[in-house]
Chain A
Amino acid sequence: MRRFSWFNATALTLGFAFLYLPMLILIIYSFNGGRLVTVWSGFSTKWYGELFRNEAFLDAAWVTLKVAVFSSTIATVLGTMAAYVLIRGGRFLGRTLFSGMIYAPLVMPEVITGLSLLLLFIGIGLDRGILTIVLAHTTFSMCYVSVVVSSRLVTFDRSLEEAALDLGCTPFDAFRLVTLPIIAPAVISGWLLAFTLSLDDLVIASFTSGPSATTLPIKIFSAVRLGVSPEINALSTLLIAIVAVGVITASLVSKRAIIRRQRDEQAAIKAVA
């Protein structure tokens, strides 16, 4: 049905304007020369310069990046294992508890996750810093990874694994040589999701960070509590640009892979005909 009405066109235009205008304004005003953020006083990139001279922001960015890389990598390993256990593990003691613990953090309010982890770290006397943030981020993002990976595993043709066993693989080799290469796209998107969640997280990081480690969101939050600032506008613009470039590249790459695959399949059909 191609009844593209005015109503639909209006809904889409207004909807996407609503989604994108605020960020567009933010980006435009990051190039504003003046200190007064709401009054345009000429194009300038001076706030970007200020930003790169601000040691505190650079330190926080570095901490955030380290935390994100470590936590998303560990979370991907654990989350993939958890997904495999959920989909292929069969029955074992406490399976219901296990799947409950995988899904619960997805709906748990961040304030509670943060609070409970902080109380644990204090309870066992672990000093708060990069390590505690990594542990906290790993825990909640591994659940997201396992949801992404398990939805891929559900549609995975089990006979591929059986064929590998049949041809002499141990179960571990079957996973390493057959399952993992095939589900790799899901594992990679799980990693990306874990990475962005970690980059993005304010609440859990606030609870679990110590004075020695401040992440970028914590820094941004304490700055913007006082109001809009041109430096934060510049920083936000940079972060938006990085994400946009990343997401668009990823989608183009996967689109090209799909097109190539379709072309190959059509060639195969033609070769037979």
Chain B
Amino acid sequence: MTAPAEFSPWTDPSAKPLIRFTGVTKRFGDFTAIDNVDLDIFEKEFFALLGPSGCGKTTLMRMLAGFEMPTEGLIELDGQDIAPVPPNKRATNMMFQSYALFPHLSLRDNIAFGLHREKMPKDRIAARVDEMLKLVQLEPFASRKPHQISGGQRQRVALARCLAKAPKLLLLDEPLGALDRKLREETQFELMDIQEKTGTTFVIVTHDQEEAMTVASRVAVMDHGRLVQVATPAAIYETPNSTYVADFIGDVNIIEGKAEPGDGIMGIAWAEGQPNLTGASDLTLASGATVFMAIRPEKVRISAEKPEGAANAVAGKVLDIAYLGNISTYHVELPGGQVIKAQTANTDRIARRDFTWEDAVWLSWSATAGVVLER
């Protein structure tokens, strides 16, 4: 959502990707960590690999860094197959989850470490290190050792150490995982700022969907070694391609039913004696096939009277109310026993609740508010 609107090389068929995965599979013994992945990542992108632990996102990144070899398939960087290139010869750098700062070296020596390996002249190394220290605002601490600085500062040193070599591609493995929530939010913006300033392509691995949504130009949602959906954060949130993605990103209500297809509209028979739900959809499904409607709580309206003209309206009673400060979430039980969440923004300071426990209420949403999904 933060990337400038005009930056979308993935929609341009003539754009050449910086990284291209073609049919990449990685097995550890019997276990398939990565299952036949095809993926393009473009220059200057901030690309997020998102998924629960064990979904293969870290393995995918470690293949880019050179610490794992694909069992099958091809990985190209700038059109070159990188399989035969060892990690120390690759134009990629990685920021480790643990930061992996060398405990016996000062911050300055940590940042200079990669530059010394390139046999860069001494004075140029010094200049480059100063530049990096300035970028991450750590000049006063240059001669300290890693254990003498805070966690947030360590994170910035790790970033500076990778950036110092001006890699074509920077890999970040859960870069903010070790920071507390407030610091993490600040650092997310700092990361985006640095990415924009340096124009480096970033690939970030994270299990935190909010983080992925905040920083990335595109997000790849992974599950069991497969890419489930690759799209911009807005597209992932508003038009998930499966209940897995819808459920993984943000809060969602999922209602299962039988399809009754119409013209550009899908009727969903979801409960005996209740009118069908309707959602806009282009899916071509056989009548009676299983279908899901995914609807975000903030798109569900709650009212005392049955609203006029709503495409979907169901009656229920309030089961629970969660007051979260900025919003309130109502858990409403429908006659069939299913619980639907509805959110309202608390725009007034005085906690004036319209509804309370056991109240009979109506929930309603428009035909385009929800997404109709096959699986």
Interface residues of A, Cβ cutoff 8 Å to B: 157, 159-160, 162-170, 173, 177-178, 181-182, 261, 264-265, 267-269, 271-272
Contacts and interface: CB of A to CB of B under 8 A. Distances in A.
26 contacts: A163-B102, A164-B102, A165-B86, A166-B65, A166-B92, A166-B93, A166-B162, A167-B114, A167-B161, A167-B165, A168-B88, A168-B89, A168-B118, A168-B165, A169-B117, A182-B104, A261-B147, A264-B145, A264-B147, A268-B148, A268-B149, A268-B150, A269-B150, A271-B149, A272-B150, A272-B153
A259 to B, nearest CB: 13
Contacts of A267: 148
Given A166-B88, A268-B150, A160 B118 contact: no
Interface of B: 65-67, 86-90, 92-94, 96-98, 100, 102-104, 113-114, 117-118, 145, 147-153, 161-162, 165
B100 A271 contact: no
Q: Which of A162, A166, A178, A267 has the most CB of B within 10 A?
A: A166
Given A167-B114, A167-B165, A173-B117, A157 B88 contact: no
A254 B312 CA distance: 72
Contacts of A272: 150-153
A269 B154 CA distance: 12
A184 to B, nearest CB: 8
A164 to B, nearest CB: 7
Contacts of B103: 182
Q: Which of B88, B92, B145, B161 has the most CB of A within 10 A?
A: B88
Nearest to A167: B114
A173 B152 CA distance: 29
Q: Is the interface of A mostly helix, strand, loop or mixed?
A: helix
B114 A168 contact: yes
Nearest to B167: A166
A157 to B, nearest CB: 6
Contacts, number: 76
Contacts of A169: 88, 117
A257 B93 CA distance: 33
Contacts of A178: 102
Contacts of B93: 166-167
Given A264-B148, A268-B147, A272-B152, A170 B98 contact: no
B136 to A, nearest CB: 15
Nearest to B150: A272
A159 B150 contact: no
Contacts of B151: 272
A157 B96 CA distance: 11
Contacts of B89: 168
A140 B152 CA distance: 47
Nearest to A271: B150
A162 B150 contact: no
A171 to B, nearest CB: 8
B147 A167 contact: no
A173 B119 CA distance: 13
Contacts of A173: 117
B114 A157 contact: no
